[in-house]
Structure 1
Amino acid sequence: MCSFAKRKILLAILAVAFTCSSALRMRGEPYEGLRYRNTRPNLNNRDASASGRIIGGQEAVEASAPWQVTLQNIYGNHFCGGAIIHDRFVVTAASCVSGLQKSWVKVVTSTNDWMGLAWQYDVSEIIVHCNFDKPLYHNDIALLKLSTLIAYDDKTKNITIADEDELVAGETLTMTGWGSATEGGAYPNALKQLKVKYLPYAQCRSAYSNSEDVDMGHLCTTSRNGEGACHGDTGGPLVNEQGQLVGIGNWGVPCGRGFPDVFAKLSFYADWIRSTINGCRQT
């Protein structure tokens, strides 16, 4: 089959994935936080062994990802992930918190069970990148400033941001989260993790037919077909083997359908993160 025909087939498959299934963030959909701001947790779903959005992954060992947080609405329902990067700051995806009032978001730490006993923090400020979604899917990053300092312990630690330029093709990274295993499914209680492989920028764009939806501010990963990201784990951390933060979940074609998962590349936004934490809002 000629390359042109293959390209047409790939484009058709991609179009179906984005319009007929449900991508992590489809065009025209409400942002993740707005979509789930009034949902309540399903108290009848307490199966900690349930399969998580990290399809093909495994339950994370207690305190193995102490920087992981769950973002919850006022009813205590998980809707996104995030990572502790400072005594009062959590980094997440802008699509998780854009349009939300700070009183609608609670940051919960120190737990592998998002419905279990944990520390809860109020948010004093939501700081969304000023160029978020300009164009769509770009600059999908935000910081949450907490009302009080985070109380560190064995289950709660911050994480440093790595230099992405040191990543090499095929390098093993780890993603964690509580998202659903199926479209519209309930979130599992137990935190899940999945080992994935780093996919360089050019190869990632090629997998998405050179779409401008993938830009230099993104970092991509691959995994076996049937493994990967699904709803509920946008904003969650991607960590290298040295325990450094390299990405924050942004978008992709769920759930484990063979397309790369796309993250905000933290090294690309390192200056924005530092200046924002230090009180400057220049990008």
Structure 2
Amino acid sequence: MLLNTFLKLSLLIFGFCQSVYGQARIINGTVTNVQACPSCVYIADKSGKLLCGAALIHTRFVASAASCTKPHIAGAMNVHGGKTYQLEAGEVIPVIKMIYSINFDQTTYDWDISLAQLQNAFTTTLAVPAPINSNPLEPYQVLRFYGWGEISEGGKVSNVLRTMQVSVMTPASCEEYLTPQTARQFCTNSVYVGACDRDQGGGYYDKDGQWCGVDIWSYGCGRGYPNLGTRASEINTFIQRAITNNL
């Protein structure tokens, strides 16, 4: 009990009370390729530097994390897709608009979702939108996460796309480590496998390849703490409305 209290206090001090922009943290994942996840893309600045993970969920829209993209303006970002390695050409599409929920809370990470509207659709067959899973996630459901983020805490980003397998935690289990989640959030267990810096905004997928949500926060990289995500099922109405209103 004392340990749980200490962990909760530690996470409150070093986690949610930190600036929202620094902490979503694939550690100990395995190398994969874009053919395994054709909707896996990432957001970069104009020089090509990786900023945030992302998922192509419509021919003209990419989903990421508001907590990662908000410090950047739309005109300063591109979306890279259709490639396994960051250093290969792939296809690069400018972002023309960023869309956020008015309910986004930078303290609790509630409604942590952003949509990047693309200047044009990808032409490569290696960049294909993922269907959105509109069904609620179930406890212990197995998901797969992808990203090009840091491969060690405070280290270099990965040149190659990596993946890891996680399972959805019950809210009660997650609350052993984190303060209560909102209705739009879920936790995954890491078991010393986890998302790291610049994986934030990357997508979680079910066994059928449906997009289930975005990674938004974790305490360090692969330290055994849960990763926090935003549920696709709970924000799908917002997403569909935003797409319809901006096409």
- The equivalent residue for 1:157 is 128
What pairs up with 1:114-125 in 2 under 5 angstroms? Answer: 114-125=86-97
TM-score (norm 1): 0.80
- The equivalent residue for 1:220 is 187
Tell me, in whole angstroms, the C-alpha distance in 2 between the residues paired with 1:259 and 1:14: 10
The root-mean-square deviation of aligned C-alpha atoms, in Å, is: 2.1
Tell me, in whole angstroms, the C-alpha distance in 1 between the residues paired with 2:43 and 2:106: 24
- The equivalent residue for 1:10 is 7
- The equivalent residue for 1:168 is 138
Q: Can you give the 5+ residue segments of structure 2 that lack an aligned partner in the other structure?
A: none
Of all paired residues, the percent bearing the same amino acid is 28
User: Alpha-carbon deviation of 1:141?
Assistant: 0.4
CA offset digits 1:33-77 (Å, max 9, x no partner): xx9xxxxxxxxxxxxxxxxx7222100134111001111011110
Tell me, in whole angstroms, the C-alpha distance in 2 between the residues paired with 1:252 and 1:238: 14
Larger Rg: 1 or 2? Answer: 1
User: Alpha-carbon deviation of 1:254?
Assistant: 1.8
Q: Does 1:240 align with 2:194?
A: no
- The equivalent residue for 1:43 is none
Q: Can you give the 5+ residue segments of structure 1 that lack an aligned partner in the other structure?
A: 36-52
TM-score (norm 2): 0.91
Greater RCO, 1 or 2 (C-alpha within 8 Å, sep 6+) = 2
Tell me, in whole angstroms, the C-alpha distance in 1 between the residues paired with 2:11 and 2:56: 34
Runs of 4+ residues over 6 Å off in structure 1: none
Q: Does 1:27 align with 2:22?
A: no
Tell me, in whole angstroms, the C-alpha distance in 2 between the residues paired with 1:235 and 1:112: 17
User: Alpha-carbon deviation of 1:12?
Assistant: 4.5
Pairing partner for 1:144 from 111, 116, 134: 116
Contact 2:98-2:114 within 8 A present in 1 as well: yes
2:208 is matched by which residue type in structure 1?
Q
User: Alpha-carbon deviation of 1:194?
Assistant: 0.3
**Count of matched residue positions in the alignment of Structure 1 and Structure 2:** 245
Structure 2 counterpart SS, 1:123: strand
